[in-house]
């Protein structure tokens, strides 16, 4: 494991930042990607020493160039964490085509854009770890999130198919489905709504980014070599099946 190159998309804040830092502490050589928040990226790199590469995960052309830049700088990518994501919440009858397309491209097409550049070399080397960050709302649906839920559910099917394709070549693909995690995304939720959310979580609290990061480091490790095509739910018991 030591010295393997790991890339975390959307890795300068929240779950992505926690996952990148946890991988770094496990001995991986980590890079993160980001699209727009230069200040957050600089602060993250200053705090962790992890380099941040700027490109839009929704753009196939930028991803191809960005992946090549990371490989040229750090070496072959052996672990990829597809974490980049946005929300553009609206009831379907009020949702615009632009809102729908932004969410699908950033949350789902980004998985293809990144994977298509790394899976071939992973197969050739006989080792690779693809970890896709889904959501409880891709499993259960959520009011006002038809686009987000569709993208996250799509990641599930994408992961299953990719797992079948890579299994015989040492490349695993798994999905982590977080529940409600205490990140910036939830900070905009009115306090009274947060109370209702907590009431639906059997353990009685929001999750922490570090708890998702522990799942990431496990699935990235040699210990998880017999796990592929799986969904690991980390949601405090809110959704059980």
- Tell me the domains of the chain and their CATH numbers: 5-234 (3.40.50.720)
Nearest Cα residue to 45 out of 34, 55, 36, 56: 34
**CB within 8 Å of 147: residues ≥ 6 apart:** 88, 95, 99, 100, 103, 104
Q: How many alpha carbons lie under 13 Å from residue 151 in its C-beta half-sphere?
A: 29
Three-class DSSP category at 107: helix
Question: CA 165 to CA 209: how far, in whole Å?
Answer: 30
pTM of the model as a whole: 0.96
Residues of the chain with pLDDT under 70: 1-2
CA angle in degrees (0–180, nearest 5) for 169-160-172:
30
Say if residues 84 and 136 touch (Cβ distance below 8 Å). Answer: no
Three-class DSSP category at 135: coil
Predicted local confidence at residue 28, as pLDDT: 98
Catalytic-residue membership of 148:
yes
Token couple for 62: 């930028």
- Give percent helix, percent strand, percent coil of the chain, each to the nearest 5: 55, 15, 30
Three-class DSSP category at 7: strand
Catalytic residue from among 28, 34, 148, 180: 148
**CB within 8 Å of 227: residues ≥ 6 apart:** 172, 174, 219
Say if residues 219 and 228 touch (Cβ distance below 8 Å). Answer: no
Question: CA 141 to CA 38: how far, in whole Å?
Answer: 32
The radius of gyration computed from the CA coordinates of the chain, to the nearest angstrom, equals 17
Q: How far is CA 226 from CA 97, 208, 230, in A?
A: 41, 27, 10
Token couple for 189: 């939720």
């Amino acid at each position: 494991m030591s010295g393997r190159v790991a890339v975390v998309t959307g890795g300068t804040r929240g779950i992505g930042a926690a996952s990148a830092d946890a991988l770094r502490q496990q001995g991986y050589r980590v890079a993160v990607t980001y699209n727009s928040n230069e200040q957050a990226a600089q602060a993250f790199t200053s705090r962790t020493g992890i380099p941040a590469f700027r490109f839009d995960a929704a753009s196939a052309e930028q991803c191809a160039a960005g992946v090549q830049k990371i490989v040229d700088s750090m070496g072959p990518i052996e672990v990829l964490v597809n974490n980049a994501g946005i929300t553009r919440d609206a009831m379907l009858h009020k949702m615009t085509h632009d809102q729908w397309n932004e969410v699908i491209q950033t949350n789902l097409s980004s998985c293809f854009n990144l994977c298509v550049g790394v899976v071939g070399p992973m197969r050739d080397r006989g080792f690779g770890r693809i970890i896709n960050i889904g959501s409880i709302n891709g499993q259960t649906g959520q009011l006002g999130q038809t686009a987000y839920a569709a993208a996250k559910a799509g990641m599930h099917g994408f992961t299953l198919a990719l797992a079948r394709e890579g299994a015989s070549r040492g490349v695993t693909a798994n999905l982590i489905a977080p529940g409600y995690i205490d990140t910036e995304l939830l900070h905009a939720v009115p306090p009274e709504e947060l109370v209702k959310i907590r009431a639906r979580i059997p353990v009685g609290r929001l999750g922490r980014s570090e708890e998702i990061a522990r799942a990431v480091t496990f699935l990235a490790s040699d210990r998880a070599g017999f796990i592929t095509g799986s969904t690991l739910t980390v949601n405090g018991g809110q959704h059980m099946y």
